[in-house]
Chain A
């Protein structure tokens, strides 16, 4: 079946540090890939996405590139801020869903804390 493996946290960085959160996936076919962010006490929000190989998703200074050859979708940001403190989830969209329903398979989440 489909699976997503994420770098385990927690990750603690100082403000303006470089961030990488690793994500690799297993899927049959060509899934779409996503990064979601969950701020404390809130629901998940889509951060960025990529729908085919070599696509780069970007938003709010975060980037991730869909690498089919390494089945990876690592999240990066050049300079993190305190406000980036949250839980980050890598996810894939089932390329062969049952019926027409599409469901997301999530990684285990990575807690990021950015210190001032």
Chain B
């Protein structure tokens, strides 16, 4: 009955590799997000995606690309991984109309070695 689920929970990979993190929500929400949490717990929005409209945080490197096959999924693909990409990545979803809260997945801890 998990509302927002991410896989994998842990990901250890070498510099230069390409990896993907998957996210699925079963809440029927029309908006999904990716957030990055650094080692100091600071959360930064990376992308929001609503009805095929992608809003990109301009500070996110173009090595990061979201891919949404349908409304319930928003995957994050990362090319040419760097040490500085190590962080916890959270997927979230919300219903787009009105000031509503977001529901978060459990997070994916990415470690680049």
Contact = CB atoms under 8 A, between A and B. Distances in A.
Given A43-B104, A44-B90, A103 B33 contact: yes
B94 A109 contact: no
Interface stretch (B13-21, B47-55, B61-69): B47-55
Q: A32, A98, A99: which has the most chain B beta carbons within 10 Å?
A: A99
Contact of B99 (A43, A95, A109): A95
B31 A101 contact: yes
Interface residues of B, number: 29
A109 B101 contact: no
A13 interface: no
Contacts of B4: 43
A20 interface: no
B106 A42 contact: yes
A95 B100 CA distance: 11
Given A31-B99, A43-B90, A45-B104, A102 B31 contact: yes
Interface footprint category on A: 20 to 34
A101 B92 CA distance: 12
Nearest to B4: A43
Contacts of A102: 31, 48, 94, 96, 98-100
30 contacts: A32-B99, A34-B101, A42-B106, A43-B4, A43-B90, A43-B106, A43-B107, A44-B92, A44-B104, A45-B104, A46-B103, A87-B41, A98-B55, A99-B50, A99-B55, A100-B53, A101-B31, A101-B53, A101-B96, A102-B100, A103-B48, A104-B92, A104-B101, A104-B102, A108-B40, A108-B41, A108-B42, A109-B41, A109-B43, A111-B41
Interface of A: 31-32, 34, 36, 38, 42-46, 49, 51, 87, 89, 93, 95, 98-106, 108-109, 111
